[in-house]
A and B are shown apart, each in its own frame.
Chain A
Amino acid sequence: MSEPDGFLARQPAAVDNAFAVLEKVAELGPGTTARQLLAELPMSKATIYRIIKHLVAHEYLVRTPDLTGFILGRRVRALAAAAQSAPPEEPAPARGSEAGQSVPSTLPVTASWVTAP
Chain B
Amino acid sequence: MQRDAPRLREVSRFAGLERRVVTERDLVAHSVSVMAPSVSALGLAFVLPDVVGPGAWLSVLLGFGLAHLLAGAFGQFARRMRAPGSLAAWTARGLGVGPAMVVASSLIFGYAVLTAFGITAAARRISGGWEAVSGEQAGPGLEFGAVGAVIAACLVVIARGVRWSTRFALIAESLALVCLVVVLAVTAARWGLPSWSDFALAGASPMRIALGAALIMTITVGFESAVGLAVESARPFATVPRSMHCALALTGLLFAVSVALNSGPAGGHGAGRIRWLRPGEEHSPLDGLILLGLALSLAVLALCAWTALSRLLFAFGREAIAWRRLGAVHPRAKVPHIATLAVVPLVLAPVAITVATGHRLGWVTGHLLETATLALCVAYAVTAAAVVPFLLRIDELRARSVCGAVAAALGVLGLTGVVVWHDAMAGRGWLLGIWAAVVGAGLAWWLVLRGRVSGLADRIGAHDETLRDDVLLPGQEGLHV
Contact = CB atoms under 8 A, between A and B. Distances in A.
Contacts of B7: 65
B462 to A, nearest CB: 10
Contacts of A45: 398
B425 interface: no
B481 A58 contact: no
Interface residues of B, number: 33
Contacts, number: 104
B211 to A, nearest CB: 37
B471 A74 contact: yes
B80 interface: yes
Given A84-B479, A114-B476, A73 B470 contact: yes
Interface in A82-117: 84-85, 113-114, 116-117
Contacts of A81: 479-481
A49 B396 contact: yes
Contacts of B93: 67
Contacts of B238: 57-58
Instruction: Give chain A's interface residue range (CB within 8 Å of chain B).
Output: 35 or more
Interface string B390-406: 00001110100000000
B353 interface: no
B479 A68 contact: no
B396 A77 contact: no
A65 B8 contact: yes
Contacts of A64: 6, 466
Given A56-B79, A78-B481, A71 B394 contact: no
Nearest to A33: B395
Given A62-B466, A67-B81, A114 B472 contact: yes
Contacts of B6: 30-31, 64-66, 69, 71
Contact of A53 (B3, B79, B479): B79
Interface of B: 1-9, 79-81, 93, 235, 237-238, 394-396, 398, 465-466, 469-476, 479-481
29 contacts: A28-B1, A29-B1, A30-B6, A30-B473, A31-B3, A31-B5, A34-B395, A45-B398, A49-B398, A57-B238, A58-B235, A65-B7, A65-B8, A66-B6, A68-B394, A69-B3, A71-B6, A71-B471, A71-B473, A72-B471, A72-B472, A73-B466, A74-B471, A77-B472, A77-B481, A78-B481, A85-B479, A113-B474, A114-B476
